[in-house]
């Protein structure tokens, strides 16, 4: 007689449970990988728009793309679980495995235990990625990204040549390398607006990446003057010792690598408690806390939704399973991700009253499918 492993001793699993878990986990890996790949392809465009290929090797591009995976993974895993469940039950149906199980008296409800076990596993993986892996790899990504962006900027800046970036035209008279740094002398920058034009002069300047934690690269100018000419004829002139001209910041992650999104849930809870104790309220801290908790809750809701698809369609096939799953995923993305952001920015509705009712819509959709299947059966 075979001895059960420790996990099976704690949670007894039948052969059908193990078969379901193996099948669905394989589909989960594949589905999540597809969603991550779609996000990463979007990242390629951002990298190519910001960094010159002349200053970047193929290895560097691959390294940057690999480092972006965790920032998309915690969004992809919950929806990947839903698609994986749909694929599993869809293939069970077309292979007549569901019909065979029903003939032996098994019902869809039988799968609740393995479905919830898998949901718990995916929830744990999502939490580990969101609170630990993503913050770590994003810092590595940002460091590598900024290093290559600095190279791109430095290669564009040439002696006695005008270059354009954002609303600026920039001219450098002389470039003097010093170690790893390059210093720019007699810098002239012009900026044109709808109601004014600026001219900035600096005796000396250099590319400054010390603002890395803010996702910014600066052209730091020293000892110069700043003149503004307004369209109504007024002029203003100011001397300065130091002036920062910021280049476009790198982006591409959800919320562009928002520091609050990279803050662990337990620390966000502590911040909320401290704010309440001090009698203050920071809406964005509250928003990130409930967004992250909402994603973890969504792992279970997506798992239940996948089971509800199998319950709701007695004559289930792969096409129906996939269509239903994609509809639920689009519903989640449009409501939980897009609509919630609009409500958070444009209204003063308490954050919990935005996220959790929206998640409730997903639960209601699953309940509707389940009731439909119960009546049919």
| Model confidence pLDDT, tens digit, residues 165-178 | 767 788 999 999 88
Choose from 130-144, 153-167, 208-222 the range with maximum mean pLDDT.
Answer: 130-144
State CA 123 to chain mean position distance.
16
Residue 132: its pLDDT value, please? Answer: 95
| Mean local confidence (pLDDT), 304-312 | 78
Span 244-259, average pLDDT: 56
pLDDT at 54: 65
* Percentage of residues in the chain having pLDDT higher than 70: 86
Q: What is the mean pLDDT of the chain?
A: 81
Using alpha carbons only, what angle is made at residue 284 by residues 280 and 288, rounded to the nearest 5 degrees? 120
CA distance 313 to 17: 21
Count of beta carbons in the 10 Å neighbourhood of residue 250 = 22
Mapped onto helix, strand or coil, the DSSP state of residue 152 is: helix
Q: Whole-angstrom Cα distance, residue 240 to residue 256? A: 32
3-state secondary structure at position 342:
helix
Q: Which of 100-114, 173-187, 323-337, 347-361 has the highest mean pLDDT?
A: 173-187
Instruction: Please return the burial class of 155, using the count of CB atoms within 10 Å of its CB with bins 0-12, 13-18 and 19+.
Output: exposed
Bridge-partner residues for 142, per DSSP? Answer: none
Higher pLDDT, 124 or 158: 124
How far, rounded to the nearest angstrom, does the alpha carbon of residue 127 sit from its chain's CA centroid? 14
**Residue 330 CA neighbour count, 13 Å, CB half:** 6
DSSP 19-88: HHHHHHHHHHHHHHHHHHHHHHHHHHHHHHHHS-GGG--HHHHHHHHHHHHHHHHHHHHHHHHHHHHHHH
At residue 52, does pLDDT exceed 70?
Answer: no
pLDDT at 9: 53
**CA–CA dist 208, 60 (Å, integer):** 21
Q: How would you classify residue 248: left for phi > 0, otherwise alpha for psi between -120 and 50, otherwise beta?
A: beta
| pLDDT over 90, % of the chain | 23
Per-residue pLDDT band at 1 (split at 50, 70, 90) = very low
79-134, pLDDT tens digit by residue?
A: 999 899 888 888 887 887 777 877 777 777 788 889 999 999 999 999 999 999 99
What's the rounded Cα separation, in Å, for the pair 157 and 137? 30
**How far, in Å, are 47, 147, 353, 367 from residue 152 at the CA level?**
11, 9, 45, 54
Tell me, what's the pLDDT at 256?
41
Query: Which is it for strands 181-192 and 235-246: parallel, antiparallel or unpaired?
Result: unpaired
- Distance from first CA to last CA of the chain, Å, rounded? 38
pTM value is 0.78
> What's residue 80's pLDDT?
92
Q: What is the mean pLDDT of residues 178-196?
A: 82
Report the distance separating Cα 43 and Cα 72, nearest Å.
10
Q: Hey, which residues does 238 pair with through a beta bridge?
A: 226
Among 51-55, 192-196, 347-351, the range with the most confident prediction by mean pLDDT is 347-351
């Amino acid at each position: 007689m075979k001895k059960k492993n420790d996990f099976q001793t704690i949670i007894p699993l039948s052969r059908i449970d193990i078969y379901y878990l193996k099948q669905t986990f394989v589909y989960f890996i594949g589905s999540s990988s597809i969603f991550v790949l779609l996000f990463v392809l979007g990242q390629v465009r951002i990298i190519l728009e910001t960094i010159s290929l002349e200053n970047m090797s193929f290895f560097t591009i691959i390294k940057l793309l690999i480092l972006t995976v965790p920032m998309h993974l915690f969004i992809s895993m919950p929806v990947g679980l839903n698609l994986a469940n749909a694929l599993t039950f869809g293939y069970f149906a077309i292979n007549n495995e569901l019909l065979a199980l029903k003939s032996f008296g098994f019902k869809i409800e039988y799968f609740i235990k393995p479905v919830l076990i898998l949901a718990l596993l995916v929830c744990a993986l999502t939490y580990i990625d969101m609170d630990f892996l993503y913050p770590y790899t994003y810092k590595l990504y940002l460091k590598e990204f900024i290093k290559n962006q600095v190279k791109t900027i430095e290669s564009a800046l040439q002696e006695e040549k005008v270059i354009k970036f954002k609303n600026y035209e920039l001219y450098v008279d002389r470039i003097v390398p010093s170690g790893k740094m390059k210093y720019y002398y007699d810098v002239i920058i012009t900026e044109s607006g709808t109601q004014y034009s600026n001219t900035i002069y600096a005796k000396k300047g250099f590319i400054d990446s010390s603002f890395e934690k803010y996702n910014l690269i600066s052209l730091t100018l020293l000892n110069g003057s700043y003149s503004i000419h307004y369209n109504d004829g007024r002029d203003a002139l100011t001397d300065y010792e130091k002036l920062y001209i910021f280049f476009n910041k790198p982006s591409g992650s959800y919320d562009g690598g928002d520091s609050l999104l990279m803050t662990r849930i337990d620390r966000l809870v502590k911040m909320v408690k401290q704010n309440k104790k001090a009698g203050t309220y920071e809406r964005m801290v509250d928003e990130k806390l409930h967004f992250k908790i909402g994603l973890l809750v969504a792992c279970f809701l997506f798992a239940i939704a996948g089971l509800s698809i199998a319950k709701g369609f007695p004559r289930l096939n792969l096409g129906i399973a996939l269509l239903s799953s994609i509809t639920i995923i689009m519903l989640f993305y449009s409501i939980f991700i897009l609509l919630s952001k609009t409500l958070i920015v444009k209204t003063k509705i308490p954050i919990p009253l935005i996220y959790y009712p929206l998640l409730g819509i997903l639960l209601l959709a699953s309940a509707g499918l389940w009731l439909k299947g119960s009546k049919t059966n």
